[in-house]
Each structure stands twice: as structure tokens, then as C-alpha cells.
């Protein structure tokens, strides 16, 4: 939902101030503020699962894993990625990061097109970003865009493992979809019995 009633661009400073006082989360895109909708159960499980897998495998390393409430700044835009990993010192601000190495989005019907296109292209301009990940919640499919592959994507499905090359970490797609309720997961579990 757009809430820029005055139809004047909102400055990053005004946005950050307002966001600290707001009851709900908003993204700032091209000077306009957009409220964020709540997440489904599958969306929440997927974000939590990949966050947990990354967090556990990065324990004791300098990389930090953030979920849902930490913003990423891209020029004068601010987004709330579902999960992000930051490996360089990034103390620009307590409420956002500017140098993620990985950004992860769980796709939903309302954000799919934006996450796959405009947001992805804007985020790929972040100098430190190495991987941009899109996780389907309605089927067992994960798409990974890698900088070292000129942002061409690779697809992963239940039964596959994903190696996040920027972190040298491998996670099974099945672990990411643990407890998620969709037809692909059900078929995979049935076949495994």
C-alpha cells in the first residue's frame, strides 16, 4: 500500500525517522513509501529455515545473518529482505545495512514480479553483493543469481544441494523446505518413504 499522500518524494532521512516510529514496516522506493503486508506460514517457515541454516553454518565466522527486520539500503531506496548476510564491517546505521554479500527473498503473489525484476536489478548494483536468491513458497524451487556468473540464474529443486559460493556453505533444498506445506514438498516426502 502506498502512503505517500503528499505526492512529494520522501527523503531517506525522513523515511528512517518515520520508520522508527511506525507500527508496521515500510519500504522506500523512488521517494515513495510502501507498507508491507504480513507473511504466510510457508513464507515464514522458509525464511526461518534458511536463516537458521546460514546462521548455524556461519557460527564463529565474521559474517552476520539478518532476518526480516533489518533493512538494506540501495542508493536512496530501502528494502526489507527476508534474509541477508553481511560479511564486511557495516556500521553505517543501526537500522540498515549497505554491504550484504547475499540477499534472499521468499516470493509471494504480491511481491513476485517486483522481487524478480526491479528489486533484483537494483540490488545487483550493490558492490558487495555476490548472490541474490529467490525462494518459491508454492513449489519446491529456488533460483540463485550469482555475480561471478554475470547474474545468470541457476535453479535448485528438492533433492538438490545449493552451494552459496560467496560463503563456501552448502545447504540442502530439503532443509530449506522443512515443514513447508505445498504439493512439491508432499510429493518429495512421499517418494522418500
At residue 92 the predicted structure's pLDDT band, cuts being 50, 70 and 90, is: low
- Tell me what the pLDDT averaged over the chain comes to: 90
Report the alpha-carbon distance of residue 64 to residue 62 in Å, rounded: 7
Question: In the chain, what are the domains?
Answer: 1-36 (no CATH), 39-192 (3.90.1570.10)
Digit-coded pLDDT (tens) for 43-72: 999 999 999 999 999 999 999 999 988 999
Digit-coded pLDDT (tens) for 104-163: 999 988 778 888 889 999 999 999 999 999 999 999 999 999 999 999 999 999 999 999
Of 77, 74, 70, the C-alpha closest to 33 is 77
Contacts of 119 (CB under 8 A, 6+ apart): 79, 105
- Region of poorest pLDDT, from 18-22, 65-69, 76-80, 110-114: 110-114
H-type alpha helices, 99-182: 112-116, 118-123, 173-176
Three-class SS of 10-27: CCHHHHHHHHHHCCCCEE
Judge contact between 69 and 25, C-beta under 8 A. Answer: yes
Amino acid at each position: 500500500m502506498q502512503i505517500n499522500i503528499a505526492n512529494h518524494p520522501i527523503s531517506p532521512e525522513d523515511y528512517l525517522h518515520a520508520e522508527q516510529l511506525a507500527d508496521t514496516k515500510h519500504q522506500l522506493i523512488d521517494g515513495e513509501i510502501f507498507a508491507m503486508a504480513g507473511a504466510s506460514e510457508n513464507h515464514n517457515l522458509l525464511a526461518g529455515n534458511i536463516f537458521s541454516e546460514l546462521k548455524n553454518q556461519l557460527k564463529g565466522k565474521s559474517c552476520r545473518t539478518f532476518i526480516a527486520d533489518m533493512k538494506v539500503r540501495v542508493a536512496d531506496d530501502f528494502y526489507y529482505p527476508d534474509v541477508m548476510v553481511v560479511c564486511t564491517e557495516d556500521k553505517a546505521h543501526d537500522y540498515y545495512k549497505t554491504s550484504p554479500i547475499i540477499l534472499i527473498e521468499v516470493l509471494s503473489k504480491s511481491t513476485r514480479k517486483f522481487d524478480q525484476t526491479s528489486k533484483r536489478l537494483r540490488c545487483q548494483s550493490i558492490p558487495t553483493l555476490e548472490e541474490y536468491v529467490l525462494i518459491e513458497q508454492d513449489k519446491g524451487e529456488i533460483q540463485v543469481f550469482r555475480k561471478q556468473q554475470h547474474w545468470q540464474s541457476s535453479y535448485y529443486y528438492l533433492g538438490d544441494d545449493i552451494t552459496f559460493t560467496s560463503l563456501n556453505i552448502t545447504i540442502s533444498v530439503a532443509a530449506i523446505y522443512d515443514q513447508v506445506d505445498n504439493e512439491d514438498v508432499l510429493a518429495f516426502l512421499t517418494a522418500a518413504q
